[in-house]
Amino acid sequence: MVYDILMYLHLATVVPCVFMGAYLLFARKGGLLHRKLGAIYRVLMVITAILALFMGARVGPIFLGHFGWIHLFCFLVLWTVPTAFLAIRKGKVKSHQRKMVLLYIGAILIAGGFTFSPGRFLHELFF
């Protein structure tokens, strides 16, 4: 029951990030819209990662009775989001860009891809 609530909250925070992140990567950079959407994206990604840390692994090897390999992406998010934010605040645009691309590829595309593997909710939902 608690897992299901966390899973739906996790989905509610990460699904907008799929589209928002893609837009942010390809749209004009630095404007007001980019900064506002970036702030929303940043908050949603951190919430997504924190929620995922409370969701026990249900597929594959389990470490410490709770965590799976996919939880490593939570740490990617929790490291990348603040360091990318600090980079742009310091004017390090290239560093910010690299981190945001890494975040999208790692936390959205790769981790998201794993959620479609057999035994996971999205696999059951779509296949």
pLDDT at residue 1, rounded to an integer: 87
Query: Which pLDDT tens digit goes with each residue over 21-74?
Result: 999 999 999 999 999 999 999 999 999 999 999 999 887 788 898 999 999 999
For residue 60, what are its two tokens? 């594959």
pLDDT at residue 62, rounded to an integer: 87
In which band, very low, low, confident or very high, does the pLDDT at 79 lie, cut at 50, 70 and 90? Answer: very high
Q: How remote is the C-alpha of 44 from its chain's centroid?
A: 8
Report the predicted TM-score, pTM, of the whole model to 2 decimal places: 0.90
> DSSP 3-state helix, strand, coil percentages of the chain (rounded to 5)?
75, 0, 25
Report how far residue 84's alpha carbon sits from residue 104's, in angstroms, rounded to the nearest whole number. 12
